[in-house]
Structure 1
């Protein structure tokens, strides 16, 4: 790969996740302060990510893989996204905002697969080359948070009260328009599927991999993957509003500690995986969810703020040790026959069905502990996902039989 292509792919990844991190992290806080949305409405807005994840395979499997170059569809979707983000920026009530964010997530979620396709198409050895490109996505998410908190101060108390968080949508609208136009300059990535071969909806969604559920271990892992998305939804939906409400300064910037942690623990994952095995790695990930939420429940913005920062820093273990390890395990169990279908099935089950349930549950519980005008009993709220994650961990520990995975299967 020459330097120009490496630069193009790195910038593409940077912008892809700068856009997502630039509005999604503060969405709950924005809706509460700018549009006076209820907790249930906020959860409904977050659930659009799940609907996007459910619909994305149709766009990729039935259109992108068969008829059009990936970089062209990427460009069209991001230009469409730029228009929708601008309309979200000028929205004045939730009824107007919701259909826009739903349409945007349906357009955005397929781009996550498209940027990977464009990248892989230029690599001779993706196992060695992709991580260098993908890390720029994490950097993009981090930069977005730092810009919001430390450059523009849009999440400062006075700025939130004045509705300044709406400018996050304007910022990412500009970035999306740029990425949309830039995408047309990316290396050509023609469709790879054979148009003469009919592809069923079952294959497109990865549902042909459902036969893997006959394996008791994979079934247990599959169920744990869906259920752990309920605690995950609490983090995505509630962390920024929680930090803002209890008076933590620069909450969006501080949350980037989680992405830094994600990079560090990604590097540690192969060692942990080889040393302790898949089962203990997954258990460690689920236990980290429990610890994180107890830290959130009993920490505060004063002397115990270190508890909140530690909880955020656990994101690397929470995400990498469960979800990345799960992708490796799925690849191992699927074999060559269901390799792609199985990954699609897990994505559909987690970011689709699991998160859809998770955001709904998080919204109901958060709303149930509303104590005043935009104030909540956060200690009680965080206990729910902590206990739930611990329960999932116990069930997994009891019913999942440890398996040995070959070293060649754990390349990150």
Structure 2
């Protein structure tokens, strides 16, 4: 099916006919709510858990997301790619997930802490596949116009910012009620998903059910050397990334900053700024420079945290938070576009996006959460700024080493193919 140069004048591949502006608005609303749900509770969960006296379970709580990425990718990957439309999966997963979010606050207590972790795992098994599904719906809806994706994805960042500002403004940064804020939007997104574009599922192939469940076709993309190196480095950089999500909020709180949710939203504000420059940067420089700058930014951020304190070096804390735009956009958004570029010709875009989620938010962040938990366990019960500073040097050094390996080993084969 033809793809129009102007999104508003011809049908898009695998999607309902719609004007370009209306389609963009619909997908922007999708991304806004998708990441509002996550940002409402994820940003300050560590602080909330430390406040109620279950700080020792922070590492386990932030391990459930990675585990859910792995489990959800395998259990739902086949359905997303073959038998159930992406939008109907979004409906089901967000409605059921919203119900679970409503009851989670009653479990965030010292007596029920272990049960809280298990229930959070159940919720995240439902939520994590929706990240890849949202990317798939947007990318397939735009067809060949992948340069429109960063603009739409920017509204996901705006949703995350809005969630952080609301949580901080309402004084809920250290409260378990952050889950109920997320629940309201999750149910709204489940209902809204009925209106999403009917993107076509990946074309079925003559293969066994086991091969479909294991996403063998998508894993076959790893035979390409450049994609294998990208996926390896994406997995490795997600290890130090996990430490930011889990421990940034208690660290920022230890500096004396009271509006933790609002402060961490600065990172998403910078992400929004850089998001709008991504189409031009991707066309101008290609994927390697963007991915490399993103990894270097992770190393710089953690180094800033390692020198930041609540006194004369407080600027380093704010600057480290503000670097999130470079850290996330230059690596994960560019990486999603690169994955789509590699997977689309093979007809396995949905599986490949799910595989990217599996390796980054799954394997990488699971390792990072557990390594972070071990490092946190070495800190005293009430960590001082000096204790936090020492801890942040580990992810700073790790990110720098990964960036060096990527620079040496990765080659962008797609640009060479386009030139030929």
TM-score normalised by the chain length of structure 1:
0.84
Partner of residue 237, structure 1: 246
Decide whether the 8 Å contact of 2:77 with 2:215 is kept in 1: no
2:380 to 371, 374, 385: 371
Q: 1:79 to 1:277 in 2, by over 3 A?
A: closer
1:267 positional shift: 3.5
2:43 to 25, 33, 38: 25
1:112 positional shift: 2.2
**Structure 2: where are the runs of 5+ without partners?**
1-17
Decide whether the 8 Å contact of 2:256 with 2:310 is kept in 1: yes
Partner of residue 171, structure 2: 153
1:139 equivalent in alignment to 2:158: yes
1:335 positional shift: 7.1
1:174 equivalent in alignment to 2:212: no
Which piece of structure 1 moves more, 110-119 or 193-202?
Answer: 193-202
Decide whether the 8 Å contact of 1:81 with 1:107 is kept in 2: yes
Decide whether the 8 Å contact of 2:140 with 2:199 is kept in 1: no
1:362 equivalent in alignment to 2:372: yes
1:177 positional shift: 2.3
Partner of residue 105, structure 2: 89
The separation in 2 between residues aligned to 1:229 and 1:196, in whole angstroms, is 32
Which piece of structure 1 moves more, 222-231 or 208-217?
Answer: 208-217
Which piece of structure 1 moves more, 297-306 or 200-209?
Answer: 200-209
1:110 positional shift: 2.0
The separation in 2 between residues aligned to 1:227 and 1:409, in whole angstroms, is 28
1:130 positional shift: 4.1
The separation in 1 between residues aligned to 2:143 and 2:285, in whole angstroms, is 32
1:37 to 54, 60, 74: 54
Give per-residue Cα distances to partners, 1:255-276, cap 9 Å, x unaligned.
Answer: 1121122222233445555665
The separation in 2 between residues aligned to 1:382 and 1:8, in whole angstroms, is 40
1:393 equivalent in alignment to 2:420: no
Partner of residue 64, structure 2: 48
Q: How many residues align?
A: 396
1:115 positional shift: 3.4
Give per-residue Cα distances to partners, 1:290-324, cap 9 Å, x unaligned.
Answer: 11111111112333222111111111221222233
Q: 1:408 to 1:313 in 2, by over 3 A?
A: farther
Give per-residue Cα distances to partners, 1:372-400, cap 9 Å, x unaligned.
Answer: 336571011000001111122223333x1
SS at match of 2:176: helix
Decide whether the 8 Å contact of 1:5 with 1:187 is kept in 2: no
Partner of residue 263, structure 1: 272
1:133 positional shift: 3.5
SS at match of 1:192: coil
Partner of residue 296, structure 2: 287
The separation in 2 between residues aligned to 1:190 and 1:134, in whole angstroms, is 17
Tell me how large the CA RMSD over aligned residues is.
Answer: 3.1
Partner of residue 73, structure 1: 89
Decide whether the 8 Å contact of 2:73 with 2:355 is kept in 1: no
Q: 1:30 to 1:202 in 2, by over 3 A?
A: farther
The separation in 1 between residues aligned to 2:257 and 2:127, in whole angstroms, is 30
2:315 to 306, 322, 331: 306
SS at match of 2:380: strand
Within-5 A mapping of 1:305-324: 305-324=314-333
Q: 1:178 to 1:231 in 2, by over 3 A?
A: same
The separation in 2 between residues aligned to 1:12 and 1:325, in whole angstroms, is 20
The separation in 1 between residues aligned to 2:284 and 2:196, in whole angstroms, is 40
The separation in 2 between residues aligned to 1:360 and 1:24, in whole angstroms, is 17
Within-5 A mapping of 1:202-281: 202-273=211-282, 278-281=287-290
TM-score normalised by the chain length of structure 2:
0.83
SS at match of 2:89: helix
Partner of residue 6, structure 2: none
The separation in 1 between residues aligned to 2:187 and 2:241, in whole angstroms, is 30
Give per-residue Cα distances to partners, 1:318-362, cap 9 Å, x unaligned.
Answer: 122223333444455557237535444333222211111111111
SS at match of 1:336: helix
1:55 positional shift: 2.5
